[in-house]
Amino acid sequence: MTYKATIIIEKDEHGYYAYAPELTGCQTEGNSLDEVMVNIQEAVELYLETMTEDEIRQTLSSSVLTTTLEIAIA
């Protein structure tokens, strides 16, 4: 079975931080975008190994909506 998980990636002065909002505590970091992508893939796979098929289906069936806001500061 194939599922989709939402992944949020943030960049700061220390590198990249990634987390999966549906999977509480599933997070990682990396020095590059490629590294953090590999790391979050592994983190999600390991996280899902601890869950039953029903738990996975229920957890990953929710929709997480993301958007970007443009904010002007006067």
Q: What is the pLDDT of residues 16-72, one digit of tens each?
A: 999 999 999 999 999 999 999 999 999 999 999 999 999 999 998 777 777 888 999
Query: Would you say residue 51 lies in a domain?
Result: yes
Domain total in the chain: 1
The total of other beta-carbon atoms located within 10 Å of residue 2's CB is 3
Would 73 be classed as within a structural domain?
no
Residue at 71 is within a domain: no
User: Would residue 22 count as lying in a domain?
Assistant: yes
Give domain status of residue 55, yes or no: yes
Task: Establish if 74 belongs to a structural domain.
Answer: no
The pLDDT score that the predictor gives to residue 15 is: 97
Residue-range definition of the domain harbouring residue 34 = 8-59
Starting at the earlier edge strand, list the strands of the sheet with 15-19.
8-12, 15-19, 27-30
What pLDDT was estimated at residue 74? 83
**pLDDT at 1 (0 to 100):** 73
The answer to whether residue 13 scores a pLDDT higher than 90 is yes
Separation of alpha carbons 58 and 4, rounded Å: 12
Q: How far apart are CA 14 and CA 26, in angstroms?
A: 19
- Angle (CA) 25-63-55 rounded to 5° is 55
pLDDT for res 47: 97
Measure the CA–CA gap between 42 and 38, rounded to whole angstroms. Answer: 6
